[in-house]
Amino acid sequence: MITGRGLREDNPANHEIILQDPELAASGRLEGALDDVAGLAAFRRSDGRSASPTSQGLTLRGLGGNAAARVTLTVDGVPLADPFGGWLNFSSIDLAAIDRIRVTRGGGVDGLAGHISIDTLEDTDFGAGLSYGSRDSVDAHVRGGAHIGASRVLFAGGVQAGDGFTPIVEQDRGIADRPAAFEQYAGRLRFLAPVGGASLQANLSAFEDRRERGFEGSDNFAQGIDASLRLVGDDWSLTAYWQDRAFENAFAALDDTRDNTRPVLDQFDVPSTGLGAAAAMQGSAGQLDWRLGADIRDVKGETNELYFFQGMSPTRQREAGGSSLTAGLYAKLDLLLGGGTSLEADGRVDFWEIGNGRLRETNIDGPDIRDDQFAARGGADFSGRIGGSVPLDNSSSARFAITRGFRLPTLNELFRPFRIGRDAFAANARLEPEIANGVEAGIDVSDGGARLSATAFWTRLESPVTNVPLGAGPGLFPGVGFVPGVYSQRRNVDAIESYGLEFDGAYRKGPWQLRASYAFTDATIDASGEEAALDGLTPAQTPRHSASATAGWEDDGKAFALTARYAGERFDEVDNSVMLGDALTFDALARYPITERLALSLRVENIFDGEILAGINGAGARERARPQTFWIGLVID
């Protein structure tokens, strides 16, 4: 049988969440589907229609957010993260292409804080949709395919575009504030064919993303192409992939009244590439299932920027970048004992090297300011998971796990200084890898159409990369020059320690289905030395409470779903000086059949237009996210 997935899988473990119906997200976006998993969050509460692309790094269990994702996300076995910055461009995947999303909380061989695995469609069924929404928005998608002998060709793609909303809340706006327009395209081709007794999977995807932040001089552009080949046999697989990314980002500063803007930085060329390969084999020996594997990933990237503007003209140019290579060996063992008790032991060793690091700054019409070349360095780190599950009765079981995860700093974190408004942030080429050690225990109950899972966890993230405030201007500071506001540098602080509870439930009976997710997280920074001012604070953008609940009904082509989400209050930045309030929002969608395959679609995001604050700048201007949005359209399924 030709398959579009990787090696065969056992039934999902109880600490994993399967999202089988991502298209039910009222936003029609991947971020909206992932919002159903409490505790999973990007650094900012905006989605990819108004957020800076570099703020969309996912994290779990309160381990602190930044541009780089602390959760590994793969699509058909290939990492999605930008090779240079480690952020995730969610606009690069249209929901029409997705068959299943599998979310695993907690560290291990697959990620520092967790792992999201996305499988794209493998059937040729045709489907399409076209919706018109608030603020002249358009959401269109199509999917389908054809059989060619024993092979299949599949395609999926979509576009979202619109005039956008004005991110700054009305009371804080100035003349310069305007709607944040966006235009985003994504497409994917798959070729599935038998090769001997194996399945060949050839994947090619591309995306283009244009958006701005709601004022002149804040536009950005991203595009990418990914290609991969995967050969899957009964008990082995081989994968190779190539990523190519381009990125541009403009930064402007506004005066305190937000009436005028001036350019401060033009990140005009950020090319990056990622090359990777993986091999795995699996088998069984009695009650023992095993898997062995190896993989390698080589990334290269740089940023080219114009900065230090005099009026509208830049006077300086910066080029920074480097490369990193990670090669890993891993083993996964699962042992089924008597009475349904099972044990698992996963282990992985990563060998890494960071090289070609450089930071050059020049006067456009004058001499060099600096030309730093950073020595190559490397190391090895271990990650893994030891756990087990014990039945309590016919419908419930208890489980435990001890985990260790690993993340190498990105090229962006290592080599690129940057500015936001009056504040400046220096890079740090000596950043060390992050290591997350954790313990978790849970109980799972399954009875007919009902399922409930409860997990208690403790995690300590060693050496988290954090933007550490070190001084205040106006003045000259190392690595960035003159700073009128706050000077910070990326540092490895001692640790972030978090503990909490997670609850997930689902119920299905007849046409009705219910699902709910809740996470409580208490996270604290442990810092000393020059970073001691952060000791005892809460990591930025980390809520104590988050929850989601959806009630859905579907019968004879008719469907309705209502989703409620609660996002707890959180601190805007690492110094805990500004609090962002909590938010309770509601989404809804409905479909009514017109013919056997054609249906009318109605969707509403944030029904009551609740205020979701994404940030507050130094002048007190509040930025909001995800306003009330209505959609009406037609769907062919």
Lowest-confidence segment of 181-195, 224-238, 301-315, 418-432 by average pLDDT: 418-432
355 pLDDT more than 60: yes
Give whole-number Cα distances, 406 to 70, 107, 253, 385, 438, in Å.
9, 8, 36, 12, 12
Closest CA to 442 of 502, 497, 384: 502
Binned at pLDDT 50, 70 and 90, residue 239 comes out as very high
Per-residue confidence (pLDDT) for residue 394, from 0 to 100 = 87
Q: Pick 337 or 476 by higher pLDDT.
A: 337
Quote the CA–CA distance of 94 and 28 in Å, as a whole number. Answer: 8
Give whole-number Cα distances, 85 to 8, 69, 367, 599, in Å.
32, 9, 29, 41
Tens-digit pLDDT profile for residues 43-94: 888 998 998 888 888 999 999 877 788 999 999 989 999 999 999 999 998 8
Residues 6+ apart with CB under 8 A from 468: 488, 489, 490, 491, 493, 530, 531, 534, 574
Q: Pick 547 or 426 by higher pLDDT.
A: 547
Q: Mean pLDDT over residues 19-43, rounded? A: 84
- Supply 477's token pair: 């500071």
542 pLDDT more than 80: yes
Tens-digit pLDDT profile for residues 252-302: 888 889 999 988 889 999 999 999 999 999 999 989 999 999 999 999 999
Q: Mean pLDDT over residues 562-588, rounded? A: 93
Per-residue confidence (pLDDT) for residue 282, from 0 to 100 = 94
**109 neighbors 116 (Cβ within 8 angstroms):** no
What's the pTM value of the predicted model, to 2 decimals? 0.93
Quote the CA–CA distance of 66 and 465 in Å, as a whole number. Answer: 8
Lowest-confidence segment of 205-209, 246-250, 339-343, 476-480 by average pLDDT: 476-480
**Residues pairing with 606 in the sheet:** none
Multiple choice CATH, 16-636, 3.50.50.60, 2.40.170.20, 1.10.287.70, 1.10.10.60? 2.40.170.20
Per-residue confidence (pLDDT) for residue 309, from 0 to 100 = 87
Quote the CA–CA distance of 139 and 631 in Å, as a whole number. Answer: 9
Q: Pick 502 or 424 by higher pLDDT.
A: 502
Q: Mean pLDDT over residues 605-630, rounded? A: 92
Quote the CA–CA distance of 584 and 598 in Å, as a whole number. Answer: 33
Mean pLDDT of the chain: 91
